[in-house]
Amino acid sequence: MNAQGKAFKYGANVDTDVIIPARYLNTADPTELAAHCMEDIDKSFVERVKPGDMIVAGPNFGCGSSREHAPVAIKASGVSCVIAPSFARIFYRNAINMGLAIMECPEAAEAINDGDELVVDFDSGVIKNLTSGSSYQAEPFPEFIKKIIEADGLVGYISKK
Amino acid sequence: MSMTMTQKILAAHAGLEQVNPGQLIEAKLDLVLGNDVTTPPAIKVFEETGAADVFDKSKVALVPDHFTPNKDIKSAEHCAMMRTFAKRFDIDNYYEQGEAEMGIEHVVLPENGLVMPGYAIIGADSHTCTYGALGAFATGVGSTDLACAMAAGQTWFRVPEAINFKLSGQLKPGVTGKDLILHIIGMIGVDGALYQSMEFTGSGVANLPMSDRLTICNMAIEAGGKNGIFPVDQITLDYLKVFAPERYERGDYTVFSADEDASYIRTIEIDLASVPLTVAFPHLPENAKAIGTFGRVDIDQVVIGSCTNGRMEDMRLAADYLKGRKVSKGLRLIVIPGSQRVYRECLREGLIEIFVDAGAVVSAPTCGPCLGGHMGILAAGERCVATTNRNFVGRMGHPKSEVYLAGVPVACASAVKGYVAGPDELL
C-alpha cells in the first residue's frame, strides 16, 4: 500500500478547531466538512490540495476537541497521510477508526519542506522525499491497523469480519 | 507489580489482575456519553454496525448542549436525529431542554448522580475527563468509538503511564482550581501529558473542594492527558450523598487507590500556596502568565460558564465579585449557569439579579460561545476573557479574535475594569 503527493507543512499543536472550525459542525457530511478543512490557518489549502497530498506537521497534531469531523474533513479533502512527530491521542484513535493514515516520524516531520513530493510505503513505514532525495523510517502499522485503513475505517473492518 | 489508580480501574474493567503501561486491553464501560455534535455521526455508524439495541439503556447518556437551544436549521436537524434515537431505544438519560436535570453534559452527569467512583466512562467529547474528579476513569473518544461502545458496552484502551502531581498546602484566597490547572498546563505544555494519566495526590488534595477538582480534571485534555483523576476521600463521599444518594446508599461504587509504590513516569510537587492567579494568553492553554506580570490588555467581552466553570460554586463566586459593581462601559458580560439546577439555584439565591444589575446577560445552559457555536461570537480583533477551556485560533469566533482563559475571580475583575485584571484591582 503506497501513497504519493505533495507536502503541506504546518507547525506544532495543530488543533481540531483549526482543522475544522466548530461553526461548521452543524453538519457531518464529509464533502461539506472538507470544503472548510484547515480554513483558519490556511485559507488556500482547500483550493490547492490534490488527491494523494500529505499534511506534514509538528508535535501533538490534532489536539483539542474530540470531533471525529477533523480526520473526516482531512480525508475527504483528498489527503492520503498525515506525518508528525506525535499525535494527540483522541485524534490518533479517530484517524485510525476513519481510515486516515497517520505516521509518527520526528525526522521526516522536521526535514520535509512545504511542497516537497513524497512517497509513503505503509507496509515498510518508509517515507521517501523525491524532492530532496532523502528517506526516513517510520514505525509501520501493525497488521490490524493496516487492515482497518484498507477497509476505509473501523466500521468497514468490522463488517468485513 | 504495583499499579496507579487509573491502571487499577482499567484492570478491574478488563477482568485482569494486573495491567501494565502500553498494554492494549478491552474494558467494560459503566457509562457512555454523546452530545448533539458527536452523536449524529455516531448514530449513522451505529446503524452500519447492524446492532439491534444499545447495550444498556441506563448506561447511555445523550445530552444536546453544544448548539442548543438550536442555533440554526442544521443544528435542529441534528438534535431531532438524536431525540428520535433516544426515543427509539428508550434511553434513560436523555435530557430535553428545560428539564430539571438538563444542562451542559459535564455539569449535569455528576449532578444527576451518573458518575460514581471506580466507574469506567467514555464520552464523545474531549472534556469527558472531568469525571476523574470523582475517582472514576473517564476519557474522550470520537463518534465511531461512541457508536461501537453504545452497541457493545465495551471498548479498547492502551493502558497509560501516569504523572503524579503531588499537591501540598492550600490555595491562596481568590486563587481557584482553574488557576492551578492553567499553571500546570503552563509548566508541562499542551502535550506534556500526552497519552498519560494525570493523577493528583498528596495532602493538598483535602484542601480542594469538588468544584475545583472537576475544573482541574476537566482540563487534563488541554495538557494532552488521557485522563485526570483524584483519590476518593470524604469530600467525594459528601458530594455523592447530595448528588447520587441512591447509588451511594446502594454502595454502587468502588474506591480504588494507587499502590504506595506505584510507578509514575514523573512526579511534580506543587505547593498550592505558590500558585498565582493565572491567565492563559492566546492561542494555546499553555501560554500561562501570572496576573501582574504583563501589561494592559483591553477586552471586549467576558464569558463566565462552560463545563469548566459553570457550576454553582462558580456562580456564587461570580456574584461575590459582581455584587454592587457594574461591568465596564461597552464591555459585554455573558453569564451561563451550567445546568437548569444551577440556574434555578441562582434564581433562588438572588444571583441572577446581581448579574443583571451588574450589566450581564444571563443565558440558558449551553456550550455556545466556548466553541464559537453561538451566544457570544467574537468579531475580528475582539478579545474575550473566558472561564472556558480553549483559546485556539478561531475558537470563539473570527480567526483574528483572541481568547484569554482565566478563573472566575479574574473574569469578574476583568469585566468590571475592561481589561485583563486580578480581583485585587476591585478593592
Ordered per-residue pLDDT tens for chain B, 427 residues: 799 999 999 999 999 999 999 898 999 999 999 999 999 999 999 999 889 999 999 999 999 999 999 999 999 999 999 999 999 999 999 999 889 899 999 999 999 999 999 999 999 999 999 999 999 999 999 999 999 999 999 998 999 999 999 999 999 999 999 999 999 999 999 999 999 999 999 999 999 999 999 999 999 999 999 999 999 999 999 999 999 999 999 999 999 999 999 999 999 999 999 999 999 999 999 999 999 999 999 999 999 999 999 999 999 999 999 999 999 999 999 999 999 999 999 999 999 999 999 999 999 999 999 999 999 999 999 999 999 999 999 999 999 999 999 999 999 999 999 999 999 999 8
pLDDT for the residue A160:
67
Q: Phi-psi category of A115—alpha, beta or left, where left has phi over 0 and alpha has psi -120 to 50?
A: left
C-alpha B365/C-alpha B269 separation (Å) is: 36
Q: Given an 8 Å threshold on Cβ–Cβ distance, is A65 in contact with B48?
A: no
Would you list the domain boundaries of chain B?
A: 5-270, 277-422
Choosing among 3.30.750.24, 3.30.420.40, 3.30.499.10, 3.40.50.300, the CATH entry for B5-270 is 3.30.499.10
Choosing among 1.10.390.10, 3.40.50.300, 3.30.499.10, 3.40.640.10, the CATH entry for B277-422 is 3.30.499.10
Q: Given an 8 Å threshold on Cβ–Cβ distance, is A66 in contact with B125?
A: yes
State the average pLDDT for chain A. Answer: 94
Q: Given an 8 Å threshold on Cβ–Cβ distance, is B49 in contact with A86?
A: no
- Confidence band for A154, pLDDT divided at 50, 70 and 90: confident
Q: Is the ipTM of this complex over 0.95?
A: no
pLDDT for the residue A144:
76
The amino acid that residue A101 corresponds to is: A
pLDDT for the residue A155:
82
pLDDT for the residue A147:
83
Distances (CA, A) of B312 to B8, B18, B151, B305, B316: 32, 39, 35, 10, 6
Helix (H) or strand (E) holding A121: strand A117-121
Of A27, A63, A65, the CB nearest to B190: A63
- Confidence band for A161, pLDDT divided at 50, 70 and 90: low
Distances (CA, A) of B158 to A4, B196, B262, B353: 31, 10, 18, 49
The amino acid that residue B172 corresponds to is: K
CB pairs under 8 A between A and B: 122
Of B142, B284, B390, the CB nearest to A97: B142
The residue written with cell numbers 504495583 in the block is: B2
User: Pairing between strand A126-129 and A117-121?
Assistant: antiparallel
Percent of chain A with pLDDT over 70: 98
Is the pLDDT at A111 greater than 90, yes or no? yes
Interface of A with B (CB under 8 A): 13, 15, 17-18, 21-23, 25-28, 40-41, 59-60, 63-69, 71-72, 86, 88-90, 93-94, 97-98, 153-155, 158-159
Q: Which three cell numbers stand for residue A16?
A: 481540531
pLDDT for the residue A141:
81
Q: Is the peptide bond before B283 cis (omega within 30 degrees of 0)?
A: yes
**Same CATH fold, B277-422 and B5-270?**
yes
- Confidence band for A78, pLDDT divided at 50, 70 and 90: very high
pLDDT for the residue B185:
98
Q: Minimal CA–CA distance to A15: which of A36, A40, A35, A44?
A: A40
**Rounded average pLDDT over A47-63:** 98
